[in-house]
Each structure stands twice: as structure tokens, then as C-alpha cells.
Structure 1
Amino acid sequence: MLKKDTGTKCRTKLSKRTGGFNMENKNIGIIGIGVMGKSMAKNLLDAGYSVQLFTRTKSKAQSLLELGAIWKDSVSEVVKNADVVITMVGYPDDVEAVYFGENGILENAKRNAYVVDMTTSKPIIAEKIFKEASERGLFALDAPVSGGDIGAKNGTLSIMVGGQLKAYEQLKPIFEVMGGTIIHQGPAGSGQHTKLCNQITIASNMVGVCESITYAKKAGLNPERVLESITTGAAGSFSLSNLAPRMIKHDFAPGFYVKHFIKDMTIALESAKDMGLLTPGLALSLELYTELAEQGEQESGTQALIKLFS
């Protein structure tokens, strides 16, 4: 796997060797610049890719424009000359809005372009995008990510990819700029299903992390020292190592928004019900996060769940 410190030249060589994209002459269009999307775009710029972008609030893209990204005034303007289009928007409705319709991606992308939705969305939407993209001579992948703001900044995200294997192999050099674990999971929709597995795991784990920290405090322990002991044992997890320290410090800035986690859990719960699966841990976590959101914490990071336990 390509190491992050080998530089732009090595990535260019990798692209040529694998038959992937040569960054010297391929354009990437990006739609949606949020907490994670901004860092992902920055890593692509730093790696030497030409990036043109659009997001609803231009001011959010200012730092990227200063680094050389090119602003476009609409979705259609971004995609018409892009070889690869990456979307990272908020909700399934947003995904459908940017992909379909007269001014959408599929209507305006040039033939043989690659369209990659990295939003956590519904598998059925990924399948719908793939079908229509194929009919238009486009290659579509669903590639949601996990790793939070830290993974996005460091280029170490886990990227879960659904779609044609050949398209995945062509774009892998681009994925390697943004992620450390990049795995093709199967046909269209498989990336989204894998991300829902990820969110189901996190949902129950976050409740456990909050209960653990609260227990430590009630027992008169130093929670930071408790973390030193338990993060490297059988209880270890990303949430315990990265979010529990923020909970202890009362740092509730979003690495991943409460409102977006609720969206993800809702999709996962609906999908599970459609398959006849019982997911009580997921249901409880969604109930707790919904209560948290009703208390005005929609824009907080997911670690704000500890407020319900304090």
C-alpha cells in the first residue's frame, strides 16, 4: 500500500503503473465541503490533483481556494469538465438532488467520467445512481468513509467501496490519497451497506463509552488514567481512544455531527428492519441521540452524548 510520506512523485508513478489516473492531466470535481470533506479535498490538492468545487456556502471553501482549488457556481459547472466527480453532502435527499435532474451530475457529466458518492446514504440510492450512470456511459461508485475529522486530516480514512471492480481499481490511487484502508466490498450499494455495519457498531459502543466514563467518575477514579488502562485492552476502540478524551475535556466540537449520526442510524435501522433483523443496541442509541438533539445538540460532535449521563 502507498505510504503517506512518499510524496507526489511516488503517487504519480503508482497511478501510471496501475493504469489509474495520471494527476498531471486529470480534473477532480468536488461537491460538498463539510468537516471531513474539506480535509479530503486539501489532501487531493496537496497530492497535486487539479480540484474544482462547489458547495452551498462559498465561504466554507475559502481556505481551499487559497490553496489553488477552482470555484464553480453550480453542480453542472463543476462536473462538465471533470474526469472524476466526488460528492460528500449531508443527507440522502441531498444526494438525489445533486445527482438527478436537469442540473444534476448525471445529466451534465461528460461521457466516461467517474462519479463517486462518499456521503453515507441509502444503498438503494447508490444502486439507482449506478444504473442511470451506466446507461449514460459513466462509471459510478459508492464509497462512504469512516475515521472522523482526524482520519480525514491525516489521510487515513477507511473507504468502503461498492460498484464495478475495474472502476475501483482505476480510482484506487485517488482513494489512497484520502484513506489508509480502501476495500472493494462488492456491487453497487455494497459500500453503503458496509458503512451501515460500521455505524451499527459505533452506535452501541458510544453508549458503552459514556457509561464507562461516568462509572469511573462516580467511583472516584481519574478517568484519564482509566483510559490509559482500558484503551489498549479488550475494550479498545476508535471511540474510546479518540472521543472519550474529548468527553473528559468537555470538548464537544464536531468531528462528526450528532445530526448526521442520527441520519446514519435511521438509515441503518430502516435497512435492518427491511431485512427482518433485530438491532436493539442500534435502536437504543438512536433513541438517546434523538433525545440529545432535542436538547439543542444537533450541531455538536457525537461525543456530546456524555451530557445525557452526567
Structure 2
Amino acid sequence: MFAITAARIDKDNPLDALGVGEHPDPVPPDGWTTVTVKAAALNHHDLFSLRGVGLSADKCPMVLGCDAAGLDEDGNPVIVHAVIGDADAGGGDETRDPRRSLLSEVHDGTFAEKVAVPRRNLIPKPDELSFEEAACLPTAWLTAYRMLFDKAGLEPGAPILVQGAGGGVTSALIRLAATSGYRVYATSRSETKRAKALELGAHEALESGARLPEKVDAVFDTVGAATWKHSLRALRPGGKIVTCGATSGDAPSAELTRVFFLQLQVIGSTMGSRDQLRRLVEFCARTGVRPEIDRVLPLARAAEGFRAMDQGDLFGKVVFTA
């Protein structure tokens, strides 16, 4: 079958490690099944994998990709939950299983004509969502859904800040929060991305590091070192930072004095459970909220999407069609 792989690991030039071509068809073990992929979405995780983050050289070549929507073996439209783990080991949540992994870390991923997954990882795709839209949900949108509705625990109308508008998670946060009645502030270095954030429903979009009109109840930070100081200073006393990533580095000054004096909370969040994905899909189907798709490319042109992500030249999701 045709697939996009991490042919090897290259920390300095990750795009040089991208493999494009034939790969063996998946052979599902007991309890697993195959899905014919119709659409798959690109994530920063895929770029990190080429650098060897979460993927070891001995696993290469590895089919990349976490997210997919397609047809199961009976021809039913389905969405793939990307977390390979045991919900029982995680107290009902696969993401807390200490042995969990994502597709494309231990098992081949979704950037291929077919992918093998545990049967329990499939949920029905509603007719209201296209395959391209559905493929955007399992990683970036599910991460945003958990951060906003589970980890932050805020009532609609609360002021929040989304750092670094433009990525898959941040565009999802803006759309989900604005649709649900939160007052959303967003930041970006790019004037174009600030304008797009306003189109998604942000109350106000500011330059990165700019002083906000008010202190917020929660900051959603996927950037890390470059925005951490600003995130702490944007919070009201008792406010929360919810973090799911550190694309600019993971070693900022903790500023513990500010954290304990203002009784701030720092909350980590990773992905979301299969049940949360099911609820997110229903939310989108019922409300008409749809993922922001930057571009759709055939799988054979996947390198273009990787290049755009590496250069930060996108807003929303890149989707590949098989």
C-alpha cells in the first residue's frame, strides 16, 4: 500500500527523513481491525516523530499519522481514536494508562491507504461531518475539548486567553470557546492569524505578549517557554494555566513566587478519552461547529503539508486524502 513514513530519524532536518512510497499492508492482531483511510490530519506530533521525539530509530520505517476517518471492514464510516491504551489501567481513561502510546509511535499510523487499530478505538462518523472534517477531531480538537470543558472547569461568559492562535489546537480552542459563550482573547505574532482568530469568534486578538484589557480566568498555553511569563501575568488571582504542549521549549522560569502568592493553578492535559471524542463528535454534529481546515492535499503531496507546518505557514488543520 502507499504510505507516508518516518524512514529514519533526523533531528536537524526532519523533512529529509520523510519517506513516500510503498509499505506493507497492515496485519491486525486479535481484537484489532483495519480501516480504509479516506482522510487523515497532520499534527505537530508527526513532525516531532521525524526528529525522534516519541519515536526511536529502531522502529523506522514507521507510518506516520494519528488521526483518520474512513470505512471499517463492513463499509461503515468511522473515526479513529488515536490513543492505544487500556482504559481499565487508567481508571477509565486510556490517556492515563502508563503503557499508552499514540498511533505512529509503536504501531503504524494513519498516513496510508489502510491502518490497523483496536476495534474499541472506532466510533461512528455522523453523516453531518465530512471525512475531512472528522479526521481533524481525534487529536487537536479532542485536546482542545478536554482542556476547555474538562480541565479548565469554567462557566460560559468567563474571560480566557488562547496563546499562539493558528495551530490546530488553538484554532479549535477559539472556535469551541466562542461558540460556547466564553469571552476569548487570542494572541499571535502574525496580523493575518490575528484576523483569522477574530473570524473564528475571538473577542479580541492581540500581538504576542501584549497587555490584555482584563485579567482572565484561564490561559490555554501550547507554546511553552516563549509565552509562559505572559500567561502567568495574564491571570487573575486563583486563575489557571492549562497546558498541553511546549512547541517553543519546555523549560521556562516557573515563577513559583507568583504561582503561590496568587494561588494560581498549573494543569497539564493530554489528548482525551474515547468517550470524550464521542461527545466532541456529537457536539460538532449538533451545533454545526466545524474544524478550520487550512488545506487539503492528496497523500502523495504530504511533504507540502509537512513543510507548511514546519514553517508555521498555516492556520488550522492540514488534511491528507488517500
TM-score class normalised by the smaller sequence:
0.3 to 0.5
Task: With the length of structure 2 as denominator, give the TM-score of the two structures.
Answer: 0.36
Whose relative contact order is higher, 1 or 2, with alpha carbons under 8 Å and at least 6 apart?
A: 2
Task: With the length of structure 1 as denominator, give the TM-score of the two structures.
Answer: 0.38
